Chains A and B, each alone.
Chain A
Amino acid sequence: MPNMSLEKVPMPEQEPNVRNKNFKEVTLGYTEEMAVEEAQRCLNCKHKPCMQGCPVMVKIPEFIALVAEGKFEEAYKKIQETSSLPAVCGRVCPQENQCEKFCVRGIKGEPVAIGRLERFVADWYMENCKSVSEKPESNGKKVAVVGAGPSGLTCAGDLAKLGYKVTVFEAFHTPGGVLVYGIPEFRLPKDIVAAEVNKLKELGVEVMTNMVIGKVLSVEELLNEEGYDAVFIGTGAGLPSFMKIEGESLNGVYSANEFLTRINLMKAYKFPEYDTPVYVGKNVVVVGGGNVAMDAARSAKRLGAENVYIVYRRSEEEMPARLEEVHHAKEEGIEFKLLNNPVKINGDENGWVDSVTCIKMELGEPDKSGRRRPVPVEGSEFDLDADVVVVAIGQTPNPLIKNTTPDLETNRYGCIVAKEETGETSKTGVYAGGDVVTGAATVILAMGAGKTAAASIDEYLSQRKK
């Protein structure tokens, strides 16, 4: 008899006024009992509507049925058939636009908490099944993976399982990509990412950090001098955009990348125990409406800012952030200044930010993306006090690899052109996937692209004569 409750089994979480002062994980995850109870809400629909919303087609009804029976290890294996990073995706997927959007239980009431169940299964497995992965037999072929984000790590893992000798080249000193430098600890504990990387190492994947491809070695050299049979490029979209308004070079203005890298990768939230500083001040203005903006705002609050504002030029409906993040941000005391756009950052006599001049916006006709275009309301400018401004309005791919790999085709946004079904680029033996191809997107899409590319690299190298 299914559990007909209209609501998801709530997931325990830290109290808003406690958690907005620490960097520990906000949500605490289901217990076994909660997971079984929630799993019983699933109707095991024959047509599996939820699956069409998952970019990697996780076998949702099947894994949930196993959870309902208390077969957690089997549930994990079921998810693993199509997905590599369930502990991560269960936490950060925008489920409301993906799997849960299509869940029939969502027609009347809340959908099944697919993400929370996925996270539960992955966490349970990590805690209870210390299985050591066996190193597969080598097939004698070498593949280089550039970038240790979700796309690169997934591609590396799949290829290693097929017997390839895989080396991951990562520019930073820690692998993980956005999962370690962008998404904060309170949303995605870094131990989880480290555990995923360790699993790869057990499979025989070599991870070389501090290697900026395009500087220390080029893609060309990987193929022709270092003896790699194929290269996968998963370097993400790490180039910050600025607003190009007056005052952006003032002290106190950060790109979200800088602000979050200081805090997450360099652990400035533990300054001075860790050496890297970050300055937060009393009033913080974060510009943007995506996950990046929410992460920056919630981090600033945790570091002691009194007033943290999200300034976003459209309305809440158009905000690209995950629903849960917006909800959590509000609970934690972040103030939303919607339908507002900064036009100028004002400084004091010492070159520090003093305030931000914003203008009110209203929604006009829909633009090409189908969203109503915001237009400024004439004469509605006002000043918002600010010590710090964080610009979180988007990122594009870093041109380093493009500039050092002449025959690699890119589009006008600087994204590498790659076939969606295979990850093939214009250069033979070179594949690409994740944000560097799509522009800033999601973890699950990057992971899926890594999987696709691994399969076609295998096909290419199996067919190619030695």
Chain B
Amino acid sequence: MYKIVRKEVLNPSVSLIEVEAPYIARKAEPGQFIILRVDEKGERIPFTIADYDRDKGTVTVIFQIVGKSTESLNELGEGDSLQDMVGPLGVASNFEGVKKVAVIGGGLGTAIAYPQAKKLHSMGVSVDMINGFRNKDLIIIEDLCKAACTNLYTMTDDGSNGNQGFVTAKLEELINSGEKYDLVVAIGPLVMMKAVCDLTRKYDIKTIVSMNPIMIDGTGMCGGCRITVGGETKFACVDGPDFDGHLVDFDSAIARSRMFKNQEAESRERAHKCRLEGMNNA
């Protein structure tokens, strides 16, 4: 089980894997996520379900290499198997009654936003997708996104793809040019989601964000993923991961995402050292 049937390198730090997980594929919906373990000593790492194929019984995740566990994951190739995968977890996105939506992806957040855009698009909703990256080499899944929306705007911080600017600037430009969105979906780094929410609050547009706090079980039993929404404590794994962005306490979420910063660095360093020593011994 959990065999990797396809792997693609999307950019130097982002890969896609399609994994055999028939039970999960049967039930998965956009907005939900899985938790996987690479091996017996591995962490439980959550990833959004980027796509699923009910007939083939597969689930696709797109992941960014940021630390020890995602590095280990990236060492696996087609034909290798994961130790564990559990899901689908979290609440599926609910888009009833919306007509025109702006879906915003920041960096890797694009991959998390993609299934939502795809679902909205398939429901006949008008979707403007605005994706932002630091530079043109980091752009991922542009073709997939193009097929999942009405208009795609791909922005780069440094303008290297010919479209310079932050996603917030583009969104404001579209709003000012008369586009009337009844919903904004913003997915990306916490600071980006916070900036989008500050903007849409000004224009009074309902905004949904996807919260990705540190998780373990993903079923509501540890409380580690708790965030503050509208003054109440919520568990992102069971109450979310989507929340009303105007109610989310981003500052506390940003602090909590750094809870294990030192240990994460230690874990990664050790992995690198082991790899070097392994090479020396060879």
- B68, A275: Cβ atoms closer than 8 Å: yes
Of A249, A254, A400, the residue contacting B219 (CB under 8 A) is A400
Q: Which of A252, A261, A266, A275 gathers the greatest number of chain B CB atoms within 10 Å?
A: A275
- A275, B41: Cβ atoms closer than 8 Å: yes
From residue B239, how far is it (CB to closest CB) to chain A in Å?
11
Question: Which residues from A are CB-within-8-Å of B252?
Answer: 249, 351
- B42, A171: Cβ atoms closer than 8 Å: no
| 243-262 of chain B: CB within 8 A of chain A | 252, 255-256, 258-260, 262
| 347-383 of chain A: CB within 8 A of chain B | 350-351
Q: Looking at the complex, which of A21-29, A121-129, A235-243 is the stretch in contact with chain B?
A: A235-243
Of A173, A238, A242, the residue contacting B221 (CB under 8 A) is A238
- B89, A212: Cβ atoms closer than 8 Å: yes
From residue A344, how far is it (CB to closest CB) to chain B in Å?
16
Q: Which residue on chain B has the smallest CB distance to residue A268?
A: B263
| 204-237 of chain B: CB within 8 A of chain A | 216-217, 219-224, 226-228, 233
Q: Cα distance A261–B43 when bound, in Å?
A: 12
- B220, A400: Cβ atoms closer than 8 Å: yes
Q: Cα distance A267–B260 when bound, in Å?
A: 16
Question: Which residues from B are CB-within-8-Å of A274?
Answer: 41
From residue A85, how far is it (CB to closest CB) to chain B in Å?
22
- The range of chain B's interface size is 35 or more
Interface size on A, residues (CB 8 A): 41
Is residue A162 within 8 Å, beta carbon to beta carbon, of the partner chain? no
Of B43, B86, B221, B260, the residue contacting A279 (CB under 8 A) is B260
Query: Which B positions have Cβ atoms within 8 angstroms of A?
Result: 23-24, 27, 37, 41-44, 68-69, 72, 83-89, 216-217, 219-224, 226-228, 233, 238, 252, 255-256, 258-260, 262-264, 266-267, 270
Knowing that A258-B224, A351-B256 touch, tell me 5 more A-B residue pairs with CB under 8 angstroms: A173-B83, A217-B23, A252-B259, A266-B216, A279-B259
Question: Which residues from A are CB-within-8-Å of B87?
Answer: 212, 215-216
A/B interface sample: 24 pairs, CB < 8 A: A171-B86, A171-B217, A173-B86, A212-B219, A215-B89, A216-B23, A216-B27, A217-B23, A249-B256, A251-B256, A251-B258, A252-B259, A254-B224, A258-B223, A266-B44, A271-B263, A271-B267, A272-B266, A275-B72, A276-B216, A277-B263, A279-B262, A400-B220, A400-B238
Query: Which A positions have Cβ atoms within 8 angstroms of B?
Result: 171-173, 209-212, 215-217, 238-240, 242, 248-252, 254-255, 257-258, 261-262, 266-267, 271-279, 350-351, 398-400
- A251, B255: Cβ atoms closer than 8 Å: yes
Give the dominant DSSP class at A's interface: loop
- B259, A242: Cβ atoms closer than 8 Å: no
Question: Which residues from B are CB-within-8-Å of A240?
Answer: 221-223
From residue A152, how far is it (CB to closest CB) to chain B in Å?
16
Question: Which residues from A are CB-within-8-Å of B86?
Answer: 171, 173, 210-212, 216
